[in-house]
Structure formats: structure tokens, C-alpha cells
Chain A
């Protein structure tokens, strides 16, 4: 998936010289997760460069560049470090088109690794997607596999408004399914690791069905797509697994079509429960598919605590917890 993200940058930079890439350790070194490796050598220091450690400076400057007419794609090293830039994202990038009545806009992409499972403790594990989906004017994207990561990132860079691009860091090296005690399957043995060369996009705002099923719909994104599929395999429940891919704008049609068919719904995310994006999904499902529901919508999420360090697998909503929820909704 790292290669797919790298490739997406290269394709976008090749096609449009207004695309510039920067962030902490992003230039010469190629990023701590290697997602921008080789870009500086290929495109030069004016197109891909290192930034000082100032997230508000990185995003603030990117807003100015984007307003000028460039298409910056910046990296926040960990989503947990995003908070100094939050004002720039929420009050500036997200609102510039609106408040200037279209006189200025901010077509920038802000990439950041999210999620736990690397013993990163509370400052390298967070999933702050709901802090973005709550903000008018932001598009929020989270891929679950290399094919989507490349196609969505190119689409994000080409989008004329600010896009938050969340990269589940536990997926960088393989389709991690939550079975942390087993060896990780590499992406090379996964269907969606086949990444075409060159240009293609995955349209923002479209979900994908990862598994068809008739008994319950699982709504997931990022790492949790693979965790959900593992839970389905472990329990033998005939579930339909929907990979949302983009949280805003949301592909509501795919969600409601599926829940209307199955009559049950489990929402899974790694982020904390209260006011998480799962609450939005549960509300939408009951609003649009209430008369099809045979059971209450379940949420399986991280607990409402900071992300712990040594106990991270007790915190992580793994396949066992998801499996229990699947069985619970079927027994209702």
C-alpha cells in the first residue's frame, strides 16, 4: 500500500506541475512510512520538500498555496499530530470557498496515518475521522487497500476542495485483519493489491461491497474492513461487508440498499464510541431503513479511553468482538 500511495503522488505530480508535496521528513528521506520516497529525486526540491516541525505552518502555508492555484498534498506524520493544524483545517481550508463566495478556494490534500496496532500508545494510534466529518466543507477519505489508496489519492489531489486522506498505518504492509497473534499476510497475496500502472481514479463518495451476504450488513472502513471480513469468516455468519472508502460525501445509497436487504446492521470503527462516525451511520440507517430493521443497529468500536500502549489489543475492536456483535444481532 505504501508503494501505491507513492505511485499516486508520482502520477499526480507527473500530470500536473502545480502538485507540490511536503511535510516532516517527506523530502530527502521520503517520509517515516516511506510514502513519498523517491519523489524529491524524481521531481526536484521545488516539488517535494522537507518542512520544519510545525503542523500549523505546514497546513497554513498549504492553504495559501492552494488559494494561489497550486495543489499541495501535505503529510502530517501521524494523525495524532494534526491538532496544531486543526484551526487551519476547520476555520480556513474548509470554509474558504464559502466565505469568499467562490473568490478563493483551497484544493489541498492532507494525508495522515491513522489507527493503532503498532504499539504507538496514545500519540501514534488515534483515529480522528469524526473530527473531520463533523466539519462542513471537508471531504474525508480512508482507503482499505492498495488499489483504492492509489485511485482515491489521485482523485483527492484532483478534487477542487480540501480532502482529508486518512491512511490506516496498520495496512501499509498488509491486509491486517486484527488477528495480531498470527503472521501478517503480505499484500502480494491479496486480490486488491493489483495496482495498475499510470493514471486511474476511484471516485470520491463511492462505497464498495467487499462481501455479499444476506443476514446482516457490516459498515466498516480502513483496517476494520479486514477485521470485519475475518469476523465473518470466523463466525460463519452470512454478512454483507461494505467498505465505505469515503465518509464525506457518504455513499448512502449503497448502505441503505444493503441494510434494506439484510435487515440488520453492525457498524465497526476503531475510533472511540461516543460521537464517533458510527453514531452518524446508525442514525442514517434508522432514518432510511427503519422498517427493514429486525434488530437494533450495533456499534463495535474502540472504548471511550485514550489509546493504551501495552494493552492495545484489549482496546482494539478485533474480530472476536465484531463476531460477537454479528451473532448478537442475529439472535435478536
Chain B
């Protein structure tokens, strides 16, 4: 969690310095992705939204590669084709992020169905926000998961804000987002997403259910988006500046730290050392990533990359466009 927050902090600064075109922080929501990761096994697949970078950080994906993606530099694993934070890593169980909301919620169900059809005990986890849970693909996913009892965990991260509209706009007359699952016969929970230990235990329970062929679980993680929606957003126009401080569920890092101090797992010097460590780790990765370029100063991927990977083998019509472009 601390590493994810420090990573976000540094990337946001870099975006302001034009090293990246765009950035999205997960401030205040780190517990969900980081604790959820610990419930997964190798071979499981997340279908994340743009605010689950904690899954990759917790999985140990190289920070310098995440940064290279954010900088769109010459080492960007996605070759400059995707906006910052739209990571992809099959190896680390992180499905390629789409910018169209909710589309991946149902793809996760399909992946889970494939796991079951192949007879493996692997599972999938779909992710969506409170706002996007009104897209038709959300409901398509619930239908498919319910009909086929897919081994999937359907995660709704309710961070209270869909850019500028509060969760009540998305929720309507329903008392919660979790309750939607009941109409589909899907086991559904509403969980304090800022409690790291709660997230871990609920995620582990849902994963166990899925692996035991007991079907899908829908989980509404209640949290608060403490930062702006993105680097292009200024929340002061639609919510009080101090609302995050008034949020009753508190900050997930502070809560876990307090717990670990009170239970004697850590002492103050351990916590201080951790704070220094995460800053160092991010700085080292940043130096490494920037040695391969940033968006403004380059080097960035070659324009030739525009034409690759549209199809497995390039059709002549595209090859002629590439020749004409002359890159």
C-alpha cells in the first residue's frame, strides 16, 4: 500500500512536469487492490479498471516498467499505444485495460468460464467502479456469471465518486450496489474496503468459493477516492476540499499501521524505515525508467509501431499504408 501510494505520488509529479500525458492515482483505495492480490494464485487473472495499479505493485511487477508505460518511453511494454496507467501483463495476472468502462467486467466472466471448461482451478476477478456499474455490460456479466456459475469474483469498487457525480446518482433507489447481485442469485457482500485485513479475508473466501465450484461472488468494496479522478480533473468544483478527512472509514494505510503498532508486529522505527524504503524504491525505479526516456523529452517508441499488432500478420492494405508513411 505504501509503495503504491508513493508510486502514485511520484507519477503525479512527473505528469505535472510533462513527463507523462496523463495520470490516475488510487489514493485512499490502496487496500483493495493490494490485499485482494494476496488472495490470488498464479494463473488467476484480474480484469482491472484504471485504479487497480495496486494489483501490479503487490504482484511485484517491475516498477520501472510501469513507469515506462506511464512515460510512453522507448521501453514502454505497450509501445506507446496506450494512455498512461492502461497496463497489461498476462504474466502478472493483469488483463489489458480498456478505456471503455465495464466492457471487461463480462470478459472476466468469459475467462473464468474458460478456466472451468479447461478443468483448471484458476479463477478470474472482474473490476468495476460504482459509476460504471450502470453500463449494460455490468448486467451482462451478472447474467453470464449466474447462468454458468462462473468461477469469478465480481468486484465493485464504490469510491463514492464517478468523476463529479456522487455514488447516489449511480445507486438510485437501491440501498447498496451489492444488493444488485441478489436479483441474479449471486452471493453478494458489502465490505469496508479501507480495512486491509477485511479485504484480504473476504477476497480469500470468495476465491475459495470460486475454486470449489460454488460460483461467482459479488463484492462491493466501500472506499473513498481521496484524490482527483485523474490528472485532468479538479474536484474542488464539485465536492468539499476536506471531505476525504471527514470520511468515516479513514485512511487504509494509517489504519493498518495503527493495528500493526498496537499488536506489536511493528514498532515506530520499523514504520519509519518502511517510509524511507518505499521512497528509495520508487526513486531507483524512476531513475532507471527515465534513462529510457519520457514523453516530452523522448525517446518514445518509433512511429513504425503504429502499424504492428493490428493483426497477427499485416495485410497488404496496411503494409502499403506503412510504406507510404515512410517511418
Tell me if A332 is interfacial: C-beta within 8 Å of chain B. no
Proximity string of chain A (306-321) to chain B, C-beta cutoff 8 Å, 1 when within and 0 when not: 0000000000000000
Interface members, chain B 233-288 (any A CB < 8 Å): none
B residues near A, CB below 8 A?
A: 45, 47, 77-79, 81-82, 86, 88-90, 95-96, 98, 100, 103-115, 117-118, 124, 136-137, 139-141, 143-144, 147, 309-312, 315-317
How many whole Å from B201's CB to the nearest CB in chain A?
27
Tell me if A183 is interfacial: C-beta within 8 Å of chain B. no
List, in ascending order, chain B residues with CB within 8 A of A249's CB.
Answer: 315-317
Q: Is the CB of A57 within 8 A of B107?
A: no
- When C-beta atoms are compared, the residue in chain B nearest to A63 turns out to be B107
- When C-beta atoms are compared, the residue in chain A nearest to B120 turns out to be A68
Q: Is the CB of A105 within 8 A of B90?
A: no
Measured in the bound complex, the distance between the Cα atoms of B118 and A46 in whole Å is 10
List, in ascending order, chain A residues with CB within 8 A of B79's CB.
Answer: 101
Q: Is the CB of A64 within 8 A of B98?
A: no
Q: Is the CB of B96 within 8 A of A68?
A: no
Q: Is the CB of A61 within 8 A of B110?
A: yes
Measured in the bound complex, the distance between the Cα atoms of B147 and A64 in whole Å is 16
List, in ascending order, chain A residues with CB within 8 A of B98's CB.
Answer: 91-92, 95, 99
Tell me if A54 is interfacial: C-beta within 8 Å of chain B. yes
Measured in the bound complex, the distance between the Cα atoms of B82 and A104 in whole Å is 14
List, in ascending order, chain A residues with CB within 8 A of B45's CB.
Answer: 68
Q: Is the CB of B77 within 8 A of A101?
A: yes
Evaluate whether A161 and B109 lie within 8 angstroms (CB atoms) in the complex, with A84-B136, A99-B88 already known: no
Q: Is the CB of B311 within 8 A of A68?
A: no
- Interchain Cβ contacts under 8 Å between A and B, 25 examples: A20-B117, A52-B144, A52-B147, A57-B106, A57-B140, A64-B107, A64-B110, A65-B114, A65-B117, A68-B45, A68-B110, A88-B106, A88-B107, A91-B100, A96-B96, A97-B311, A100-B78, A103-B89, A103-B96, A104-B95, A104-B96, A136-B310, A161-B311, A248-B317, A249-B316
Tell me if A62 is interfacial: C-beta within 8 Å of chain B. yes
- When C-beta atoms are compared, the residue in chain A nearest to B45 turns out to be A68
List, in ascending order, chain B residues with CB within 8 A of A102's CB.
Answer: 309
How many whole Å from A74's CB to the nearest CB in chain B?
10
Tell me if A293 is interfacial: C-beta within 8 Å of chain B. no
CB-contact partner of B110 in A54, A63, A84, under 8 A: A63
Tell me if A56 is interfacial: C-beta within 8 Å of chain B. yes
Q: Is the CB of B143 within 8 A of A68?
A: no
Measured in the bound complex, the distance between the Cα atoms of B98 and A99 in whole Å is 8
Q: Is the CB of A54 within 8 A of B78?
A: no
List, in ascending order, chain A residues with CB within 8 A of B312's CB.
Answer: 97, 105, 160-161
Q: Is the CB of A99 within 8 A of B137?
A: no
Proximity string of chain A (101-127) to chain B, C-beta cutoff 8 Å, 1 when within and 0 when not: 111110000000000000000000000
